[in-house]
Amino acid sequence: MIKFNKKGRSIESTILESQDFFSRSGWASANNFIFNRISRISKISDYPILYVGSAPSKRTGLRGRYKDLSTRRHTVFYSILALLVADWELEYGWKRSKSPEKLEKELIHEYKKLSQ
């Protein structure tokens, strides 16, 4: 989960600035991929938490999940990057569980209720 401690520039401004920055590369296929990922932040509401998935695998676990989040490997990477560049303050968090799949379903259900 990612908590928004402080909002920076507006979502609209963040998306436009990010698209402008990445479009300078001239790499159309990469830009389409990145723009798709960054445009997802338009769905951020007033709810202060962003759910980014679970780390149920013992092979990768929490350490692997954080490594993924800090690289292009995770689909939320470009959105996080755009928010950080736009002066948003973010905090990462996690919750341990003996049955992560069940907890994940419950969290997603609650998240959807609260973020609508």
Question: Per-residue pLDDT for 67 more than 70?
Answer: yes
| Domain housing 52 | 2-114
81 vs 72, more confident: 81
How confident is the model at residue 90, as a pLDDT?
Answer: 92
How confident is the model at residue 116, as a pLDDT?
Answer: 64
Question: Per-residue pLDDT for 25 more than 70?
Answer: yes
Q: Rg (Cα) of the chain, in Å, rounded?
A: 15
Indicate the average pLDDT of the chain: 82
Residue 99, phi then psi, degrees to nearest 5: -130, 75
How confident is the model at residue 87, as a pLDDT?
Answer: 97
Virtual CA dihedral for 113, 106, 77, 69, nearest 10 degrees? 150
**How do residues 75-110 score in pLDDT, each as one tens digit?**
788 888 999 999 999 998 777 778 877 877 887 787
Per mean pLDDT, which of 6-10, 38-42, 50-54 is the most reliable?
6-10
Judge contact between 47 and 112, C-beta under 8 A: no
> At 72, is the pLDDT very low, low, confident or very high (cuts 50, 70, 90)?
low
Determine the distance from the C-alpha atom of residue 2 to the mean position of all C-alpha atoms in its chain, rounded to a whole number.
Answer: 7
Helix and strand numbers (H, E) in the chain are: 5, 3
Question: Per-residue pLDDT for 29 more than 70?
Answer: yes
In total, how many domains does the chain have? 1
Which amino acid would we find at residue 25? S
